[in-house]
Amino acid sequence: MAQRPSSTPVASPVLVVSPLFCTPHPVDLAINRKFGLMPAAFPNFAVKGVNGNIVFKVKHGVKAMDKYVFDTKRVIFDAARNRIITLQKEV
């Protein structure tokens, strides 16, 4: 495994989500793509820790479909299936 560059802590971090999901040190995670019923262009992901336990799930949702244009969002859930944050394109 390649050496990770050491990072210096940020003086006053800005939290976008709960501090529950923040750590003072780097965490190794693995992303597993799960296609399910969605086409390959809209995959869902499982984010796992080094021990293999699911830490987050990222689900892809299609908000609106207009001919060939998809307006999409991604929802990130914790391991207990609680919604953490919704990501979407800026309007």
pTM: predicted TM-score of the whole model, two decimal places: 0.61
pLDDT of 14 reads 76
Q: Got the DSSP string for 41-85?
A: TS-EEEEEETTS-EEEEEEEEEEEEETTEEEEEEEEEETT--EEE
pLDDT in tens, 32-85: 776 455 555 567 888 898 888 888 888 877 554 544 445 577 888 888 989 888
pLDDT of 68 reads 46
